[in-house]
Structure 1
Amino acid sequence: MSGFDMIETKKVAASEVGTLTMDDLRDPTSNLPLDWTRIGKDCEEEDEHAIRLPIDVVPEDAFDPDDDHLAIIGTSGKKVTKIGGLEGLKLRIICLRSHLIEKMEGLEGHSETLEQLELYDNQINPLEQLEHMPKLTNLDISFNAIRSMAPVANCKLLTELYIANNKLTSIEGLEELTLLKTLDVGANRLRSMKGIGNLVNIEHLWMGKNKITEITDLQNLKKVRRLDIQSNRLTKIENLENQVDCLEELYLASNGFDDEGLQPDSGITLPFKNLNVLDLSKNKISKLSHFSHLTSLDELWIAENDVSFFSEVGALAPNNLDCVYLEHNPIAKDFDYRKKLKDLLPTLTQIDANAVGREGGGMVGGGFSNNSGAVAGYGMAAMTDEQRVKVMRILQQQALQKAKAEQEKQAAGAAGTTTTKNMMGPALPP
């Protein structure tokens, strides 16, 4: 998610330019009435080596000298291959998302005005021209081919930096970026967290999908609200002492945590005051007592672990959880899995992907009532064959009863005394 998504900009849809009509798609040499393989493609074959400036891919009136923002999304239609032709404009926001840009250039004329730059999903390498952008506060260069982020050191006013899905092997250039509140370096080639130690104002930190083996360098990060280090190579939760008061969401799915890895005194055993979301899915955890002290917790995601006993679930009663994900654990194979969870944790409003009623009402998967919506939220895909058979029998029986009642009503209206009590035959056995 980019900060630019929340900014109202003048977006020019590339699909409005040069797309084929239905008549253009007719192929006289084919037996098919249309050449469906060309739907949505340009009349001309896309040449990624052609030089196309922003002005070449949008209508002539798209560039208004009075506008301070430009946004061209290249998900369809012709793509920009070179930044240029922006002379005479005083742009505060530039968004050139999903194009074929390989080089950061042509931005010098906006050094006194440019605050937000998005070049998401291009082919940029290396990172250049940032020395001409002293007023930049938001930079999104995710999904490119960048190998070094050191030049970001020139942008000391940055508050949001997105550089995910590149080819970074280390974190550089952040020493003086003390205003940074959001950093996304996910899906790179990082092996450590070294380089983030001076981010004293950071609130949102994404480092998922790397090769990180230890949680480190967080001692000065006392304002972190959301920490995401999922899909790495972690085996211990540790070094979180200075996040006890600030941390609200912690995402550690798809690592190598077992019960022993959750025991360090500097980890999840700490008395976090505001932690409300904890994701430890796809690990090797069997005990839920590790989390019983986290009384502020609203959501616990621990799917695809090794929880085998419902007695472990009882340890979560003090948490007053709203949502729990325990699917694909051994206990989830129990026929009354959801009913037992609801009995043990009556405050739940969601079990896995299924909404459940609060105390005293609503349906919980695993048990059925006689109303027609009783199985609506059960989740057929998650059932065993035996459960599916039972559900189908109940649905069939309900359908027969409904049809029978309707026929009886119609017959009574037509004949007054005619009954159709036995027309439908016996109901299917439960």
Structure 2
Amino acid sequence: MSELMDTVDDVAMPAVDSDADGDKESGNTGQDVTINDIVVIDPETSVLDLNHGRIGQIANLEPLVNIEQLFLRWNLIKKIENLDTLTTLKELELYDNQITKIENLSPLVNLEILDISFNRVREIEGLENLHNLKKLFLSSNRITTIKNLDHLTNLTLLELGDNKIKEIQNIENLSNLEYLYLGNNKISQVSGLSTLRNLLCLSLQSNRLKEIEGLDELVNLEELYLSENMITKIENLNNNIKLQTLDIAQNKIQLIENVAHLEDLQELWLNDNQISDWNCIDKLTVNKKLATIYLERNPLANDPAYRRKIMLALPWLTQIDATLCHRT
């Protein structure tokens, strides 16, 4: 964070020229600041923060010969352009703008992090030359199909949450992927993940899943998020023995089962399901590393002795729902 603050001295924003009609107090001239109004004082800077600048166009960045991180979040940019000379760039953030197309990124061959989340992008494209890319953020756009990512074999993180994706596809070549976020889409089946054996975290919340499946090859998976689906049974986790966090909240689960083999499980989220049988809690007595469990808004949570019964059955817990366990 201190590194970002240091960049304030690297740019000079134009002074506001208020008129006599009351704008003097508000500081509002009614005009958007563009990148053309910005004077780069230090062309040697490696980090440039232009967030919240009301910038409408990317231009006049040619003097930045050593730039590695460029932050253009929360602006009014409609097009990715005029970045050809920034070949040293490693991180580019265009979060929350008005961009409709991924384009003009070919010269940025050293780019490792690209964030175009919260824009208006409809297709994944224009990434052909970004072979060094490690993290790609495209959440909250209008993407319907996962495609054109096969060549990004160095990718370790892919964020595609909050789009309009119906199928997990075309990511078989991303064997180095560790974090995959696909929450809040329209996915009805877990598939196409068998080659992602290095995956540590998989997020599929708020989709249209009816069963847990397609995870057999994900032997290194540590975090699995499946909340807000239509899942009725905990199953098919036999090979996911490294799971530490399992989130199946807000589904249609009636029984806690098939988790005894998850010896590393630390967090289990099962709130807002249909669990009523107290015998289910006894099945967790073998999960000695379990520290946090969420069971609120299940039928068994209506029991006046709800917390006490859980603490007696699982005395090593440190948190039940949102409340820490206090023992005397």
TM-score, normalized by length of structure 1? Answer: 0.70
Q: How large is the Cα RMSD of the aligned pairs?
A: 2.6
Deviation at 1:295, TM superposition (A): 1.6
- TM-superposition CA deviations, 1:199-255 (whole Å, max 9, x none): 1000011000000011111111000001101110011111111112x0000000001
**Does structure 2 conserve the Cα–Cα contact (< 8 Å) formed by 1:142 and 1:163?**
yes
Q: Does 1:350 align with 2:319?
A: yes
CA distance in 2, matches of 1:253, 1:7: 37
- Rate the CA distance shift 1:228–1:19 in 2: closer, same or farther, 3 A: farther
- TM-superposition CA deviations, 1:309-365 (whole Å, max 9, x none): 2111111111121000001111111111111110111110000010113xxx34xxx
Deviation at 1:43, TM superposition (A): 2.4
Alignment of 1:83-94 (within 5 A): 83-90=58-65, 91-94=67-70
Aligned partner of 2:287 in structure 1 is 319
Deviation at 1:107, TM superposition (A): 0.5
Aligned partner of 2:73 in structure 1 is 97
Which of 170, 173, 197 matches 1:198? 173
Deviation at 1:8, TM superposition (A): 4.9
SS of 1:212's equivalent in the other structure is coil
- Rate the CA distance shift 1:161–1:118 in 2: closer, same or farther, 3 A: same
Alignment of 1:194-273 (within 5 A): 194-244=169-219, 246-259=220-233, 262-263=234-235, 267-268=236-237, 270-273=238-241
Which of 290, 293, 299 matches 2:261? 293
TM-score, normalized by length of structure 2? Answer: 0.91
SS of 1:338's equivalent in the other structure is helix
Which of 54, 63, 73 matches 2:35? 54
Which of 73, 81, 92 matches 2:56? 81
User: Which structure 2 segments of 5+ residues have no match?
Assistant: none
Aligned partner of 1:63 in structure 2 is 41
Q: Does 1:310 align with 2:278?
A: yes
Counterpart AA for 1:323: T
Deviation at 1:10, TM superposition (A): 4.1
Q: Does 1:338 align with 2:307?
A: yes
CA distance in 2, matches of 1:189, 1:223: 26
**Does structure 2 conserve the Cα–Cα contact (< 8 Å) formed by 1:153 and 1:175?**
no
Counterpart AA for 2:271: A
Aligned partner of 2:158 in structure 1 is 183
Aligned partner of 1:368 in structure 2 is none
Alignment of 1:17-28 (within 5 A): none
SS of 1:108's equivalent in the other structure is coil
Counterpart AA for 1:109: T
Aligned partner of 1:391 in structure 2 is none
Deviation at 1:153, TM superposition (A): 2.7
CA distance in 2, matches of 1:253, 1:231: 6
- Rate the CA distance shift 1:17–1:297 in 2: closer, same or farther, 3 A: farther
**Does structure 1 conserve the Cα–Cα contact (< 8 Å) formed by 2:17 and 2:29?**
no
Counterpart AA for 1:118: E
CA distance in 2, matches of 1:324, 1:239: 25
Aligned partner of 2:92 in structure 1 is 117
Q: Which has the higher helix share?
A: 1
Aligned-residue sequence identity (percent) comes to 35
Deviation at 1:278, TM superposition (A): 0.3
Which of 11, 20, 28 matches 1:43? 28
Q: Number of matched residues?
A: 323
